[in-house]
Amino acid sequence: RKEVEQDPGPFNVPEGATVAFNCTYSNSASQSFFWYRQDCRKEPKLLMSVYSSGNEDGRFTAQLNRASQYISLLIRDSKLSDSATYLCVVKYAQAGTALIFGKGTTLSVSS
Amino acid sequence: GAVVSQHPSRVICKSGTSVKIECRSLDFQATTMFWYRQFPKQSLMLMATSNEGSKATYEQGVEKDKFLINHASLTLSTLTVTSAHPEDSSFYICSATDNYGYTFGSGTRLTVV
């Protein structure tokens, strides 16, 4: 079983749509959680951290359920520029450990 | 913000030759650097973790004699793909941390012909 699992998609939505991505992680020692965005042939860029209480950044809302080992990302009012691959990422508690990436979910927003 | 410079961005080499990829933290000291590899439509797979002045720790299945990692200073790590073969063609990305955050290089697209 992979450490971080995501539905690869693709999700094809019109502008203005709301879309949700899910992610599960297998290692309960995971301590920190993030969503990254990766554009084609580019490095991943941090979109937002994910906290147990849930957090929002503009049109983006992230949720974490530690009991279910489940992370979600909600994008409201999708823009064309949101088209990218969204990577679910976890990190263990020890300092200096690597980020563990999911395979990513591809989003395509069309006009 | 923190910047990591990775070079080259793209390289094409002949099978059997070696390729060196350089990753440099420009404005912070990276206590640890990580090397990832990403095949098309796959996730970033961790290859190895390196700390300055010590041997890199390789992930299972990654050949340490083929992927040589040198982390000679707190701002520089290099990955050398030795005797490259077409199956080594991939997107290689480094990441550096000062234990506060993670910064990624822009990646190197390696094509072995």
What is the mean predicted confidence (pLDDT) over B92-102? 90
Which residues from A are below 8 Å from B10, CB to CB?
A: none
Q: Which residue of B has its CA nearest to A102?
A: B43
What is the mean predicted confidence (pLDDT) over B36-55? 91
Answer yes or no: do A101 and B43 touch at CB < 8 A: yes
- Measured CA to CA, the distance from residue A5 to residue A101 in angstroms comes to 9
B94 pLDDT higher than 90: yes
| pLDDT for the residue A57 | 95
Number of CB pairs, chain A paired with chain B, less than 8 A apart: 44
Indicate the average pLDDT of chain B. Answer: 94
Answer yes or no: do B43 and A98 touch at CB < 8 A: no
pLDDT in tens, A61-92: 999 999 999 999 999 999 999 999 999 999 98
Query: Which has more confidence, A99 or A96?
Result: A99
| pLDDT for the residue A1 | 63
pLDDT in tens, B56-82: 999 999 999 999 999 888 899 999 999
- Hey, what are A78's tokens? 């999708």
B90 pLDDT higher than 80: yes
DSSP A49-97: EE-TT-EEETTEEEEEETTTTEEEEEE-S--GGG-EEEEEEEEESSTTP
Answer yes or no: do A42 and B97 touch at CB < 8 A: no
**pLDDT grade, residue A97 (50/70/90)?**
confident
Q: Residue A94 contacts by C-beta under 8 Å, 6 or more apart in sequence?
A: none
Total residue count of chain B as it appears in this document: 113
| pLDDT for the residue B98 | 85
What is the mean predicted confidence (pLDDT) over A36-63? 94
Which residues from B are below 8 Å from A46, CB to CB?
A: 102
Could you give phi then psi for residue B41, rounded to 5 degrees?
60, 25
Which residues from A are below 8 Å from B107, CB to CB?
A: 41-43
User: Among partner residues B31, B45, B107, which is closest to A43 by beta-carbon distance?
Assistant: B107
